[in-house]
Amino acid sequence: MTQRIARAGLIAALYISITLLLHPISFGPIQLRVSEALTVLPILYIEAVPAIFIGVLISNIFGGLGMVDILGGSLVSLVAAFCTYLLRRNIGAYLSPVLLNGFLISLYLYHLFGLPYWFTALSITISQAIVIFGIGYPLISFLKNKKEKWPFLK
C-alpha cells in the first residue's frame, strides 16, 4: 500500500513538473503536452488513475485558462485514465486518452480561443497521438520489461 501511494505521488509530481517545465507548449488549442505520455500508466498501475487526475488538476491551475480547464481537463483526464485501466489489455488503453482528450477538451478550448471546433479537436487529437504512441507506448514496453528485474516497479 505504501509503495502504491508513493508511486501515485511520483506520477503526479512528474506530470506537474513536465507540464510546467514545458509550459509554452503544454497549453492551448495547439499544444504538445509531453506529460500526457504518463496517462498510459494505468495499464500497469491502478494508482496512476488518481495520480493523473491530481497532476492535471494542479498543472491546469498554472495554465491560465481558468476553472473550465482546471475542472474540465481534470475530469476528462480522470475518465480517460479509468478507461485506460479498464482497457489495459488492448489497444483501447492507448486510444482512450487520445480520443477523449481530443474530442472533449476541444469542446471548451475552441470557445476559449475562438477557433473552429474541428480544427481544435484535430490539433489536440494529433498531439495526443504523438505523445501517447511516441513516448507512452515505449514507456509501457520499457516498464513491462523491467518489472521482473526492478522489484520497485511491481
Give the model confidence (pLDDT) of 130-146 as tens digits.
999 999 999 999 998 87
Domain boundaries, given as residue ranges, for the chain: 2-21+37-153
Please say whether the beta carbons of 75 and 33 come within 8 A.
no
Q: Which helix (H) or strand (E) holds 145?
A: helix 137-146
Query: What pTM was computed for the model?
Result: 0.94
68 three-state secondary structure: helix
Give the model's pLDDT for residue 145: 84
* Per-residue model confidence as pLDDT tens digits over 11-61: 999 999 999 999 999 999 999 999 999 999 999 999 999 999 999 999 999
Q: Measure the CA–CA gap between 105 and 116, rounded to whole angstroms.
A: 13
